Structure 1
Amino acid sequence: MIDFRYHLVSIVAIFLALAVGIVMGTTLLQDPAIELARRTSDELTNTNNGLRADLDTLRGREAGNDAFISSMTPDAVAGDLTGQRILLIETPGSSTAVREAVQQVLGQAGAEISGRVTFTEKFLDPKGTGVIDGLVNQLKPANMIFPTTATTWDRAAALLGAAFVTNDQAQVGTPNPATGDVISAFETGGLLSTEGEPGKRATLAVMIAPERPYEGEDAEAQAGALVSVADGIDVAGKGTVLAGSIVAAAVPGDVINAVRDESEISKRVSTVDTADMPVGRVVIVYSLREQLNGRAGQYGIGKGASAPQPPVTSATPSPTTQSGS
């Protein structure tokens, strides 16, 4: 019969064996585990340093390319838009820096800026469509007829298009008789603001897209409102280019992708998704020139772009061109 002391000795022996095993195992595995961790850390550090070096190289190349293109831009666009008067349109969330850079290149191309129209968030608010409808019904001329499928923003865009742009060269630089009332009403309603003399009608328009897509439950409606404005301005004048920067993924609130997804509108309104780059500003000029010749295109490097730029031609559009895009 096994007594209690035997059990006690057995239990102590078992725990002693476990302790010795743990100590021996830890000692034997410690050096290989530490060495593996050290090698892994070194490899990750080397990889990270390599990626940083590659990124620095790419940034250096991009800076060099941008500097070169910027220096060549005046010659690349010289005379391309001589005789054209251009309306600049800023949207909620658009970049002032991009707009200023675009405006500078348009000037280098020989264009005259008629003024700037800045839409407010209130204009894009779906809850405020009743106010917009009321203004449009009050201000539209009797001969302005809207399609039965026209949305609130479609109707507003047609009215604003008639106020800000024209495809008749004889009317360039002159106000539409109803322009003053239209601008005043929309400004008083907090829907837009103006700078310069946008009421003295332009021939072309450049709309600066928001830097980031709109978000939230109204994002798609907000983007659609700006698509309507771009299209309405395009139809009333000789052409419109919507310009902005590339968005990593297609989302409902991205205005440029919204235009590109509308097959009929994309046949009229051009888009450029590289406006934050010097090359993109040149592409905007070329796109406007293409609009003057009755064509449109989707340019850049993002989703839906058909090419980085329009086909380059040596022909300079005539400032007396009558047909719109």
Structure 2
Amino acid sequence: MIDFKYHVVSLISVFLAIALGIIIGTTALNGAITDNLNSQVKTLTNDKRDLEARVSSSAIQIQQNSAFDAAVAPTLVKDVLADQSFITITAGDSVTAEQRDAIIKMTQAAGAKNTGSISLSDSYSDPKSASTLMNYATSDLPAGVTVAQSSNTGTVVGSLIANMIVTPKDGSPAQPGASITAVLSGLGGLGVLKLDSTDISPAQNIVIVTSGKATDEAKKRNATLLALASELDKKGAAVVIAGDLDSAASSGLIGAAKTDASIASRISTVDNSNFASGQISVVWALAAEANGKSGQYGAAKDAQPIPPTPK
């Protein structure tokens, strides 16, 4: 008969052997895993450093290219818009004066005269402002001032602004300065726009400057701004919407303009106007618009790199 103590000793020996095997095996396995992880970390670290170097190199190249574009810009735009006039309209509070002024400077270098600058606040495109704007645009206007017959606030107010700031192509006289001042000052009193220049005179070319994506009510806000662009075009202006790459996204104004066939066929867009090359494109696009050619230009995948070369 086997002694009970023998069983105990045997079981203890088995468990010790198992424990020792686990310890030895785990130690060997841990070593292999640790070596593999260290190798992966080293590879990822090298990849990260390589990417950082490539990004830095790309940034330097972009800076150099931008400097070159700025240097050759005066030659590329010289006299393209000679003896013409233009007005800039910034659409929304996110547009900076720096972005607008760079476009003004480039368009002036093309020979055009800046006859005014207007800033539309976010309130202009806010659906909550619609009834107030409609009431203003359909009552108490100066004598001789008319608006489009529509139930759409963007169309009605857009036609009012277009009648004030666009030089008529049909030979009819422009609105008198007193009417222009009265109408735009009235809109200013509603908090939807402000005049960035002391005087506003009608112009042949209009650049609507935008930036980024609409944060709320994007579809309705973009529709209101595109209605303005459409009314400016109908009045006879060459219209270009200029913005950055973010504004070419689906919720941005340029993105909305591209997907609206009636707008895309009549109004040009430039989605890289925050660079000198894009500012050149704004000028060239205005020249093409005057010849009845509209297009979508810039850095977005669905855009042409540059507008047609002015002749």
Q: Same fold (TM over 0.5)?
A: yes
Whole-angstrom distance in 2 between the partners of 1:94 and 1:303: 23
Say which SS state the counterpart of residue 87 (structure 1) adopts: strand
In 2, are the aligned partners of 1:173 and 1:200 still within 8 Å (CA)? no
For residues 261-298 of structure 1, give each alpha carbon's deviation from its aligned partner in whole angstroms, at most 9, with x where no partner exists: 11111111110001011110100000011112222111
1:271 and 2:269 are equivalent in the alignment: yes
Q: Which residue of structure 2 lines up, in the alignment, with residue 61 of structure 1? A: 61
How far the C-alpha of 1:128 sits from its partner, in A, is 1.7
Partner Cα separation in structure 2 for residue 187 and residue 102 of structure 1: 24
Q: What residue is the counterpart of 2:45 in the other structure?
A: 45
Q: Does 2:197 align with 1:221? A: no
CA deviation after TM superposition for structure 1 residue 137, in Å: 0.5
Assess, with a 3 A threshold, how the Cα gap between structure 1 residues 159 and 7 changes in structure 2: closer, same or farther.
farther
Distance in 2, matches of 1:131 and 1:80, equals 41
Alpha-carbon distance between aligned partners in 1 of 2:14 and 2:274, rounded to the nearest angstrom: 73
Aligned to 2:25: 25
Match of 1:94 in 2: 95
Equivalent position of 1:318 in the other structure: none
Rounded to whole Å, the distance in 2 between the matches of 1:172 and 1:49 is 65
Change (3 A) 1:172 1:15: farther
Query: Does structure 2 retain, via aligned residues, the 8 Å contact 1:259–1:265?
Result: yes
- Which residue number in structure 2 is paired with residue 34 of structure 1? 34
Per-residue CA shift, 1:281-324, capped at 9, x if unaligned?
A: 1000000111122221111121542x1112213x3xxxxxxxxx
Which runs of structure 2 are paired with 1:126-137 in the superposition (5 Å)?
A: 126-137=127-138
Is the Cα–Cα contact under 8 Å of residues 176 and 201 in structure 1 kept in the other structure?
no
Q: Structure 2: how far apart are the matches of 1:171 and 1:79?
A: 27
Distance in 2 between residues matched to 1:77 and 1:241, nearest whole Å? 16
User: Does the 8 A contact of 1:243 with 1:275 survive in 2?
Assistant: yes
Structure 1's 116 and 110: CA in aligned 2 closer, same or farther, altered over 3 A?
same
Q: Select between 176-185 and 43-52 the one with higher mean Cα deviation.
A: 176-185
8 Å CA contact 2:264–2:295 kept in 1: the answer is yes
Q: Which residue does 1:78 correspond to in 2? A: 78
Q: In structure 2, what is the equivalent of residue 156 of structure 1?
A: 157
Relative to structure 1, the CA distance from residue 112 to residue 97 in structure 2 (aligned partners, 3 Å threshold; closer, same or farther) is: same
Aligned residues: 309
TM-score, length-normalised on structure 2? 0.90
Question: Which range moved further: 13-22 or 279-288?
Answer: 13-22
Amino acid at match of 1:44: L
Rate the CA distance shift 1:42–1:173 in 2: closer, same or farther, 3 A: farther
Q: Does 1:311 align with 2:308?
A: yes
**In structure 2, C-alpha distance between the alignment counterparts of 1:232 and 1:3, rounded to whole Å:** 106
For the pair 1:201 / 2:198, whether they are aligned, the reply is no
Cα 1:112–1:32 change in 2 (3 A) is same
Residues 257, 303 of structure 1: 8 Å contact kept:
no
Contact 2:147 2:159 in 1 (8 A): no
Q: Write the distance in 2 (CA, Å) between the matches of 1:190 and 1:248.
A: 24
The answer for the alignment partner of 2:280 in structure 1 is 282
User: Structure 1 residues 61, 153: closer, same or farther in 2, change over 3 A?
Assistant: same
5+ residue gaps, structure 1: 316-325
1:319 corresponds in structure 2 to none
In structure 2, the residue matched to 1:124 is 125
| Corresponding residue SS for 1:102 | helix
RMSD of aligned alpha carbons: 2.5
SS at match of 1:178: helix
Distance in 1 (CA, whole Å) between partners of 2:54 and 2:12 is: 61
Q: Are the structure 2 counterparts of residues 176 and 291 from structure 1 closer, same or farther at C-alpha, using a change threshold of 3 Å? A: farther
Cα distance in 2 between the residues matched to 1:254 and 1:121:
13
139, 146, 164: which one aligns with 2:148: 146
How far 1:104 moved relative to its partner? 1.2
- Partner letter of residue 291 of structure 1? E
> Larger deviation: 11-20 or 108-117?
11-20
Q: Which amino acid aligns with 1:69?
A: D
CA distance in 2 between partners of 1:147 and 1:85 (Å) = 28
Quick one: percent identity of the two aligned structures?
A: 27
Q: Residues of 1 paired with 2:208 and 2:245: CA distance? A: 15
The 5 Å alignment of 1:158-307 reads 158-168=159-169, 175=176, 178-197=179-198, 199-210=200-211, 212-216=212-216, 218-247=217-246, 250-251=249-250, 253-305=251-303, 307=304
Q: Give the counterpart letter for 1:243 in structure 2.
A: A
The alpha carbon displacement at 1:235 in A equals 2.0
Give the residue type in structure 2 aligned to 1:41: V
Asked if structure 2 preserves the Cα contact closer than 8 Å seen for 1:244 and 1:275, the reply is yes
Letter in 1 for 2:289: Q
